[in-house]
Chain A
């Protein structure tokens, strides 16, 4: 009997330990680990480390963003400082303080620029996910943590960012991490989108120029057949922080302490 005790103790402690480091409400925990990214950065070595993190189960909705705007009125479309403003910002809402009756309150918010998305997440004590964190989470389908070997599944990602996307329907299943909508009708901001691609005309120049700019550059894809990643990468790297799109929203992430 003596020998069973450590096991019993471990069994008894397991739920408590899981609870202590469990995710925030609305978030799921992702283990991270060594990950084969489809994006090749200049210092690429194949596997890149992904630290454990939490990611929102759903993208931020119109209702959630309206609550944020009410608490932080400097992000209303009629009060946003010129520094962060863009013509289309929250342009689809009926009024400056909410979506109104014609826009679904529970639909993902769109027409938000990077500054507003970043401010929303920071106001929750969170942050935007990095592109790598998005890619890590989005490698999963409903049953596999990494479904990227499945050619048929990947082919369907050509529809990402359109109403025909895999996760576009409201009742589409969560992926293996418990996360919804990563391959949905909307694109999502990443925290590091400005650094995905260096300025085009400075790339490939001699060392002096590279040093002067030192902008990290993803010159190629390890896997150009990873359509969901390639499309998203190209789209995000073409945007400015003040850009808005009718099919671009966001969700937040948290680092594990």
Chain B
């Protein structure tokens, strides 16, 4: 078993040679095949910093897709995720990232996303991300989120929290219908934070 890091490093070296696009990844072990981080997608966070989807790698993440001009379900998604966080110990909380991805990047600028974060008084570990304009459909598909703009500018969309492990594999999913988190899902989150 001691040889596996070496093998991984070798495998990675070859992958890096074959794929100059991801040259920055040479120090990280290869992503598992089912990792959602294989998807190339870029974001700007609520502070205006650019980052890549695979930059979320490294700790488990709670991910959802929403938009700020949404008055019914989207606040519930944020409150539901806050509710999950509240059930965790401080040590567990530090190990969990939370990422809210906008379905409406044309209107959800970093300033608008920062405003949403402020209104919900979220704590540390939260990211409110504006995806690059053409990256939303692919993000929605890997997260199995369906959405469609209505003529009035509102969006019909799946309201779900998706739990990813540190390498971006889907561990669990919670369909959000209220601000109260699903106890079974909280257990899944605790398990994800205990492992690894």
Contact = CB atoms under 8 A, between A and B. Distances in A.
Nearest to B32: A82
B40 A213 contact: no
Nearest to B40: A119
Interface residues of B, number: 35
A246 interface: no
Contacts of B40: 119, 122
Interface of B: 18-19, 21, 31-36, 38-40, 72-73, 133-135, 137-138, 140-142, 146-148, 150-152, 156-159, 175-177
Contact of B31 (A42, A81, A216): A81
A45 interface: yes
Interface string A57-96: 0000000000000001110000101111100000000000
A8 B143 CA distance: 56
A192 interface: yes
Indicate the member of B72, B133, B142, B156 with the most A CB atoms within 10 Å: B156
B38 A74 contact: yes
Given A83-B34, A127-B134, A214 B158 contact: yes
Contacts of B18: 73, 79
Contacts of A213: 146, 158, 175
A115 interface: yes
B175 A216 contact: no
Interface of A: 41-43, 45, 48-49, 72-74, 79, 81-85, 114-115, 118-119, 121-122, 126-128, 191-192, 194-195, 198, 208, 211-216, 241, 255
Given A83-B142, A214-B156, A216-B150, 12 more contacts: A41-B148, A43-B151, A49-B151, A81-B38, A83-B34, A118-B141, A122-B134, A126-B134, A211-B72, A211-B159, A216-B146, A216-B156
B180 to A, nearest CB: 13
Given A122-B40, A212-B177, A215-B156, A192 B35 contact: no
Given A81-B31, A82-B33, A214-B157, A43 B152 contact: yes
Contacts of A194: 140-141, 146
